[in-house]
Structures are given as C-alpha cells and as structure tokens.
C-alpha cells in the first residue's frame, strides 16, 4: 500500500450536482496530482497542486477545481456534474522534483 488515502470510495450523484473528493498524500509528499480514469482508458491528468497552488492543468474545464491544504492533503471539486464525469478519480502524491507517483485507491463517481 502507498499510504495515499481517498474518500469516499464510491459516490453516486445526479447530473447538475456538485461533488467534493478528498485525498491525503503519503507522509512527506508535498505534491498532489489528480487524474480521471474512464472505464477502459488510461488516467488523464486533471491538475497538480504544489505548496497549495495549482501547478499545471490538463485539458479539463473550469468546473473542475481543487485545493491543497497546509498538511498537503487535497480536494477535487466538480461543479455542474455531467454524465461523462462518471469515472474513477485518482489522486497521486509525489515529492517535489521526484517523478514517481504514488496513487491512492481512487473514488468511483457515478453520475446519473
């Protein structure tokens, strides 16, 4: 196990609602990245947080936003949920300057 935890494990939401997903990084890791993994696909980079600031963003609309807290834990917020947002959301922690990513178990989001 990596030491990266995510909550909740599963979530069912209705189209148009808002959702917040949480991630606790591995001890000592100051960088958190979020990925969306649709069924049968590779993870897609959403954004990365380093020292509480967004440090790069993938091709996702502004309704995907995030936060990083002083203890390096992080949140992913998605507004105005769409059916296509149904996916496994993974967070990964890493140490500044080190490429290896430690993934959490993910949150399975279903939008109906």
Partner 1 sequence: GQQVMQIPQYQHVQEGEDFTTYCNSSTTLSNIQWYKQRPGGHPVFLIQLVKSGEVKKQKRLTFQFGEAKKNSSLHITATQTTDVGTYFCAGTPGTSYGKLTFGQGTILTVHP
List residues near partner 1 by CB under 8 A: 2, 31, 33, 35, 40-45, 48, 56, 58-59, 90, 92, 94, 96-106
- For residue 83, the minimal CB distance to partner 1 (Å) is 21
- For residue 105, the minimal CB distance to partner 1 (Å) is 5
**Is the C-alpha dihedral spanning 54, 13, 10, 39 positive or negative?**
negative
- For residue 53, the minimal CB distance to partner 1 (Å) is 14
C-beta of 59 vs 71, nearer to partner 1: 59
C-beta of 14 vs 59, nearer to partner 1: 59
d(CA 5, CA 91): 9
d(CA 68, CA 8): 17
- For residue 73, the minimal CB distance to partner 1 (Å) is 16
d(CA 98, CA 26): 14
Q: What distance, in Å, lies between the first and last C-alpha atoms of the chain?
A: 32
Return the closest-CA partner of residue 34 out of 73, 89, 100: 89
């Amino acid at each position: 196990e990596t030491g990266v935890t995510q909550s909740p494990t599963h979530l069912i939401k209705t189209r148009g609602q808002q959702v917040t997903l949480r991630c606790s990084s591995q001890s000592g890791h100051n960088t958190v990245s979020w990925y969306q993994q649709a069924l049968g696909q590779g993870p897609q980079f959403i954004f990365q947080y380093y020292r509480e600031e967004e440090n790069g963003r993938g091709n996702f609309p502004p309704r995907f936003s995030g936060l990083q807290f002083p203890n390096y834990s992080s949140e992913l917020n998605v507004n105005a949920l769409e059916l296509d947002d149904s996916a496994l959301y993974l967070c990964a922690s890493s140490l500044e300057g080190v490429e290896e990513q430690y993934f959490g178990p993910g949150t399975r989001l279903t939008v109906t």
